[in-house]
């Protein structure tokens, strides 16, 4: 598929990032799956080559690149199935909170390290009893002198073990009405007394990514760690940034779809049954054709959303559509493609088996399919 949204510079960047993944990531993916996390040396190497948050201003260690450079990275990570490297989460979901809402002092303190790979970030929204209902969070941050004292529990936090800095959603005013007006975002540095990385969770898929439970027990941080000019802005900040977060999930979904389809087409061309390649059976061809058609149409929609998002347009409804549709279609695609692999599709040494367990979570995180449909319904006035 010809992609008109990219320039020659984007493609040069793609080639460099692809070579980086082939050298530094692909040979170690199995190692990281066994460890349950990515070793920090690869982050340093990525930072040295300018692959972390390249959109940041030069003053903070970036290159002021446009969002398409991030999209290139998402696509190449999918092509290599190197999802263990949580580059998108760090670069395009967490770091933008600091870049957008942080004070100048916060930006100078943290952003250069975020770009160099010295500081790895996480965002802690979800709690054991809240799931997608962010307004129901119970974690509190009580003002005490010139500090906030944080108490609460977070779960399903990607980079939960590895992070050096976590952005915590907490209630600075638990009695606020409506409740969302009492929510704030506060940055907590690793090593702060009372901040505990309690347990790395044993997941079905994305096993190279560390996902953890976090506890905050009388965790005292300076009031200067509040993101924003005043308390009570956290919920609005998250709602604004969730547009890009959900768009990144949709971008990764279509990139994953193309990757899995290419694996499957190649396998069906090489694998024979009853004396001829699988690709020569009409049922195989027709099903592949249907999946390629869906991918082609979905890619067109994604490319439009990327351009609109870069123009600053409100595409909350459309990104919600893309997020639920893309992740659900990816799930169907992987399931059908695995069928073509037969028994080999159930064997771990085949990437299709890894894909089968990895993609399942995409319909859940960053807002479930059901929550996406609720948002769309509200936008449509239903």
Classify residue 39 as left (phi > 0), alpha (psi -120 to 50) or beta. beta
Given a contact cutoff of 8 angstroms between Cβ atoms, the answer to whether 126 and 160 are in contact is no
In whole angstroms, give the CA distance from residue 60 to residue 77: 25
Query: Cα–chain-centroid distance for residue 56?
Result: 18
Query: What's the angle, vertex CA 170, arms to CA 246 and CA 74, rounded to 5?
Result: 25
CA distances from 327 to 1, 126, 233, 346, 359 (A): 20, 20, 30, 21, 8
Is 230 a residue of the active site? no
Q: Is 23 exposed, middle or buried (0-12, 13-18, 19+ CB in 10 A)?
A: exposed
d(CA 225, CA 230): 11
* DSSP 8-class letter at 22: I
User: Position of tokens 């070579």?
Assistant: 19
Q: Confirm if 337 and 294 have CB atoms less than 8 A apart.
A: no
124: its two tokens: 């802690």
Preceding omega of 236 cis (within 30 degrees of 0): no
Instruction: Find the DSSP H helices in 203-315.
Output: 234-270, 282-310
Spatial neighbors of 45 by CB under 8 A, at least 6 apart, are 20, 24, 117
Q: How far apart are CA 263 and CA 269, in angstroms?
A: 10
Both tokens of residue 326?
């893309």
Say which of 76, 213, 231, 245 is annotated catalytic: 245
Placement of tokens 């061809």 in the chain = 285
Q: Contact, 161 vs 37, CB < 8 A? A: yes
Residue numbers annotated as active site: 245
């Amino acid at each position: 598929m010809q992609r008109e949204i990219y320039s020659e510079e984007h493609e040069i960047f793609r080639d460099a990032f692809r070579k980086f993944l082939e050298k530094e990531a692909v040979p170690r993916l199995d190692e990281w799956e066994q460890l349950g996390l990515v070793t920090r040396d690869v982050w340093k190497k990525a930072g040295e080559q300018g692959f972390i948050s390249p959109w940041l201003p030069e003053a903070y260690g970036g290159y002021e690149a446009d969002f398409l450079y991030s999209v290139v990275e998402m696509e190449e990570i999918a092509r290599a199935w190197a999802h263990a490297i949580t580059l998108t989460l760090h670069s395009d979901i967490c770091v933008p909170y600091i870049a957008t809402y942080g004070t100048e002092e916060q930006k100078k303190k943290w952003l250069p390290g975020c770009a160099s790979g010295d500081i790895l970030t996480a965002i802690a929204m979800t709690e054991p009893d809240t799931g997608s209902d962010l307004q129901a969070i119970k974690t509190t941050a009580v003002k005490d002198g010139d500090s906030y004292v944080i108490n609460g529990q977070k779960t399903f936090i990607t980079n939960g073990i590895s992070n050096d800095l976590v952005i915590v959603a907490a209630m600075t005013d638990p009695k606020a009405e409506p409740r969302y007006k009492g929510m704030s975002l506060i940055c907590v540095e690793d090593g702060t007394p009372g901040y505990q990385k309690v347990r790395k969770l044993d997941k079905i898929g994305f096993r190279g990514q560390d996902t953890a439970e976090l506890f905050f027990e009388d965790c005292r941080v300076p009031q200067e760690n509040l993101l924003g000019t005043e308390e009570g802005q956290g919920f609005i900040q998250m709602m604004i940034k969730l547009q890009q977060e959900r768009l990144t999930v949709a971008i990764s979904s279509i990139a994953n779809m193309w990757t899995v389809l290419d694996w499957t087409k190649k396998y069906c061309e090489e694998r024979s049954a009853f004396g001829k390649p699988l690709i020569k059976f009409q049922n195989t061809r027709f099903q592949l054709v249907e999946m390629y058609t869906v991918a082609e149409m979905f890619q067109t929609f994604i490319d439009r959303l990327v351009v609109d998002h870069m123009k600053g347009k409100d595409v909350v409804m459309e990104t919600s559509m893309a997020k639920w549709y893309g992740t659900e279609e990816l799930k169907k695609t992987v399931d059908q493609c695995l069928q073509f692999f037969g028994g080999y599709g159930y064997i771990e040494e085949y990437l299709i088996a890894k894909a089968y367990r990895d993609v399942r979570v995409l319909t859940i995180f960053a807002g479930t399919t059901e929550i996406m449909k609720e948002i769309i319904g509200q936008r449509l006035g239903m």
